[in-house]
Amino acid sequence: MAINRSNTHIYDKIIRLLVLALSLFCASTFADTLLVEKQRFMLKDFTTTSGVVLPEIQIGWEAYGSLNKEKSNAILVPHYFLGTSHAAGKYAETDKHTGYWNSIIGPGKAIDTNKFYVISSDSLANTNVKDPNVFTTGPASIDPVTNKPYGLSFPVLMIRDLVNAQHALIKSLGISKLHAVAGTSMGALQALEWSSAYPNMVPRIIAVTGMAEADGLAIAELEKWAIPIKDDPNWNQGDYYEKEEPIDGLTKSMRSIVMIAHHGYIFDRRFKDEMRDDPGPRQSILNEFKINTWLNKYAAYRASKADANHVLYYIRANQLFRLGNKATLAEGVAPIKAKILLLPSKNDVLFPLYHMQSLYTQMLIQKKNVFYDEIEGPWGHLDGIYAVATKADVIKNFIEE
Residues noted as catalytic = 185, 348, 381
Distance CA 295, CA 209 (A): 22
- Beta-sheet strands, E only, within 137-202: 142-143, 148-149, 180-184
For residue 30, give the 3-state DSSP assignment.
coil
Nearest C-alpha neighbor of 391 from the set 65, 10, 19: 19
Rounded Cα gap, residues 205 and 74, in angstroms: 13
Among candidates 287, 325, 44, which has minimal Cα distance to 196?
Answer: 325
Closest CA to 299 of 199, 205, 228: 228
Give me Rg for the CA atoms of the chain. 21
What is the C-alpha to C-alpha distance for residues 255 and 182, in angstroms, rounded to an integer?
A: 27
Q: How far apart are CA 131 and CA 60, in angstroms?
A: 12
The helix or strand, by DSSP H or E, that contains position 10, with its residue range, turns out to be helix 5-29
Backbone angles phi, psi at 327, to 5 degrees: -70, -30
Calpha distance 91→189 (Å, rounded): 27
